[in-house]
Amino acid sequence: MTDMAQPRMKQAPDRDLVPRRMIRAMLVLVLTVLALVTYARLSGAPVISTPPDSPVVLERHVFLTGEMSGAATVLDASGTLIARLSPEQGGFIAGIARVLDRERTKHGVPLTGPVTIIAREDGRVSIHDPSTGWGADLMGFGQDNALAFTRLLAQ
């Protein structure tokens, strides 16, 4: 029996997979961004990417409970039921409740504290957890998700 060698395909050397010009361009880009950020931090340039402060129009303290299924329960500060939401209705609210639980676990505070839902004059809605200092501007999650919390303020 003769051993017939299969013709082997030539593999391109590693240096040919990514051109040197591309690697140098990426390095220049990274160093440029690093230089710009360093300059901004050292020069004391104001942070312009944050939304402007707007007066609080309405705020409400609530207790959120969320399940992995997406179902959520919302109670007011006195413990009265505001909403019991099905998995289809409460997915985002349940997700925020799970984030709160994670943040509270990280900070070693009880999981049962209230959060504050805040409506501002400029139309933004945010949530704030006084026990951990965590907060989020809910407009960043889309109009429908912010509207879910706006409805809780209205009830």
pLDDT in tens, 98-109: 888 898 889 888
Is residue 5 one of the residues assigned to a domain?
Answer: no
Whether residue 137 sits in one domain with residue 102 = yes
- The mean of the pLDDT values for the chain is 82
Distance between CA atoms of residues 79 and 145, nearest Å? 24
Domain that holds residue 100: 56-154
Q: How high is the pLDDT of residue 14?
A: 58
Q: How high is the pLDDT of residue 73?
A: 84
Residue range 70-74: mean pLDDT, rounded:
83
Whether residue 146 sits in one domain with residue 97 = yes
Here the tokens at position 88 are 């289809």
The secondary element (H helix, E strand) that includes residue 41 is helix 20-43
Is residue 3 one of the residues assigned to a domain?
Answer: no
Q: How high is the pLDDT of residue 8?
A: 65
Is 146 in contact with 138 (CB distance < 8 Å)?
yes
Is residue 2 one of the residues assigned to a domain?
Answer: no
Distance between CA atoms of residues 81 and 85, nearest Å? 11
Per the structure, the count of domains in the chain is: 2
Residue range 62-75: mean pLDDT, rounded:
84
Is residue 117 one of the residues assigned to a domain?
Answer: yes
Q: How high is the pLDDT of residue 120?
A: 87
Strands, E assignment, the chain: 56-66, 72-76, 81-85, 115-120, 125-128, 135-137
Output the CA angle 95-101-103, nearest 5 degrees.
105
47 or 127, which is more confident?
Answer: 127
| pLDDT tens-digit map of 13-58 | 555 678 889 999 999 999 999 999 999 889 988 877 777 778 888 8
30 or 88, which is more confident?
Answer: 30
Residue 155 scores a pLDDT above 80? no
